[in-house]
Every structure is written in structure tokens, then in C-alpha cells.
Amino acid sequence: MYQIEEPKYFYLFIFIAVLIVMYLAVAIWKRKKQREFADLALLNKLSPEKSKFKPVLKIIMLALGLSFLILALVNPKMGTKLKTIKRQGVDIVFALDVSKSMLAEDIAPNRLEKSKQIISKIVDKLGSDRVGIIIYAGNAYPLLPITTDHAAAKMFLQNASPDMVSSQGTAINEALKLAKTFFDDDTQTNRFLFIISDGEDHEKNSNKIAKEILNEGIQTFTIGVGTNKGAPIPIKRNGKFIGYKKDNKDEVVITKLNVETLKEIANSGKGKYIYGNKTSKTIEFIEELLLRADKKEFETKQFSDYKDQFQWFIGLGLLFLVLDIFLLNKKTKWVQKMNLFNESKKDV
């Protein structure tokens, strides 16, 4: 495990990119002017000791030297000691619907982004609780195994999209079954499953599966995102709007919030249906729910000691800079004899 102490210094790599571009521009300009002055054969006779490879090697050494010095400023730290910590909390798994209908814009900016906002703000309110994320459409996939790393949860969440699921549909049954595998059987914490969806096209027998996982101590809540009026599903290509999804009759498909389906799943799982369009009220309800929940003690391991590693990068940076200083633009005699870089032994 590692930490980055000063990530702001990564911006200095822009300077190295500019340096390389400037070098290439000057090299092209020089070559052009040399051709205007004389032909290549004459230039080789005028400067027989000049190496074509050495200038390139020097800029590589300079770029590497500066890169390692920048990494020294960033100061990566490596974890050296793994410590077992006892925490108190609950286990929460979010099952996020990423089907195409979640792209409908009856809720700004769209249902999927609204759902991400809800999850992200809930994660911000968590203390020592553990969190996991499932995404589902035609299939269900684990996006993030259950963890205490809330920052990682938010990072993975931002990447959730319909493109991550190979087939379309609403495989809620598969998501419910997958949620069961997320919880650690050795750690008997209170377990909550939050399904966030518009409720469209859900499969049959979802109520039965919700009851089955309830026997495993998993309480299921549903959060509905969308409106009863509904909205068309936009189709975009490379970020540009090209039309709306149509059915077999070439009519625009209108997707609506299916409250009844979500309520049935929540009731079967001894949870509750939550109207998710009003983010603040949704967060308040879930925050109160988790505060009232009985917190169980569990163990987690994390790195407690981190050691600075900047000294290694300083050493490598200075080494490459010294090599750059001692590298001359002249041909190296013994290398020239070996002809490693295809530099001619004789004047042309």
C-alpha cells in the first residue's frame, strides 16, 4: 500500500513535455537549416566526430532525471506495518441500476447521475461502516467488494455506466443473489442492501429472493429515481445527441418510474421504499436509519506506518542528470568500433 503526500507536483510533468517538444522543434529547425547550408555528405565530412545518437540520449537522460526529481517532490510513501483495527459499524451494499432507461432526463441531469449523487452523499455520511457496490442491467457485476475505503467507493462509483454491462435489461434477481455473496459470513454485522432503480422491467420472483436473503440477515431497501410521467431515453454517440430510443413500431419509448415493483421488493425484504428524487430527504432518512441500527464490532486490517521514499527518487534523478552532463555530442570511439547505433565508421 502506498500514499502520495504532494500530488500537486505532478503538474510539473507538463514542463518536461514542453521541454521535449521544444527539443524536437529545434532539432527539426537545425536539420532544415543544415540542408540549406550544404548536402548531408558534405556535412558529415565537416563534422565527422559528431554523433547523431548522443543528442537524443542526452535529452532522454535529462527528462528521466527531472522526472525522478518531480517524483521526489511528490514523495510516495510505502506502508510498512499492517495493523488490525477493531471498528463498529454496519455493512451496506448498493445495487445500482445502470440500464439504458436510467439515462432518461426526467430527473436532472439524468436518473443515473442522480443515483450516483445519492450514493456518494450517503457514503460521505458513513463512519466506520463498510460499503460495497453492485451494478446491474442485463447482468449483475461487482463494481467494488465490501470495504472501509470510502474514497475508493466514490471513485469507482463515478465510472459506473451502461457501457460497463454487456447486455441490457434489468437483472434485479441476479443483483439480489450477488449481494448475498458480498457480506462476510464471519462478521455478523447488521446488513443493508439498497437497490437504486427506476423499477422498470424488473424480473419476476424478486420478492421471493428478497425474502431468501432476509434469512441471511440482509434487509433490502429500494430507492426509486424517476417520475410517473416518464421521459424518452436519449441516444448519444461520442457525447452528441442523435435521437431517442424507439420500439419495433418506430415509436419513441417512454420510460416511467415503477413504484409498485420497488415497494414489493422492499416489503419482502423487511425494508422500505424511498422516493429518491429529493436527495436531501433521501439522505436524511438513510442517515437516521443507520444511526438507529445496532453497530456490531468487526476487525479490519490497514497500514499504520508509512515511510518516505523520496530519497530513492532524488538519487536516481541526480544520477541521470550527472550522466547527461558527462555525455558529449561527440562519437564514443569504442562504441563507434562496435557500431551499436549504426554510426558509420568511415566518412561518407
The residue that leads in pLDDT, 345 or 254, is: 254
Structure confidence by residue, pLDDT tens digits, 292-303: 887 776 555 555
Strand 254-255 vs strand 191-197: parallel, antiparallel, or unpaired?
unpaired
Residues 177, 45: Cα–Cα separation, whole Å: 78
What pLDDT sits at residue 2? Answer: 62
Structure confidence by residue, pLDDT tens digits, 119-169: 999 999 888 888 999 999 888 999 999 888 899 999 999 989 988 887 777
Residue 97 is assigned to a structural domain of this protein: yes
Cα maximum dimension of the chain: 90
Residue 344 is assigned to a structural domain of this protein: no
Q: Three-state DSSP class for 154?
A: helix
Reported pTM: 0.63
pLDDT, average across residues 199-217: 84
- What total of structural domains would you count in the chain? 2
Same domain, 296 and 214: yes
Residue 345 is assigned to a structural domain of this protein: no
The range of the structural domain enclosing residue 186 comes to 84-301
Structure confidence by residue, pLDDT tens digits, 30-42: 878 777 766 666 6
Strand 254-255 vs strand 2-4: parallel, antiparallel, or unpaired?
unpaired
pLDDT at 345 over 60: no
Same domain, 29 and 91: no
Buried b (16+ CB within 10 A) or exposed e, 43-54: bbeeeeeebeeb
Residue 347 is assigned to a structural domain of this protein: no
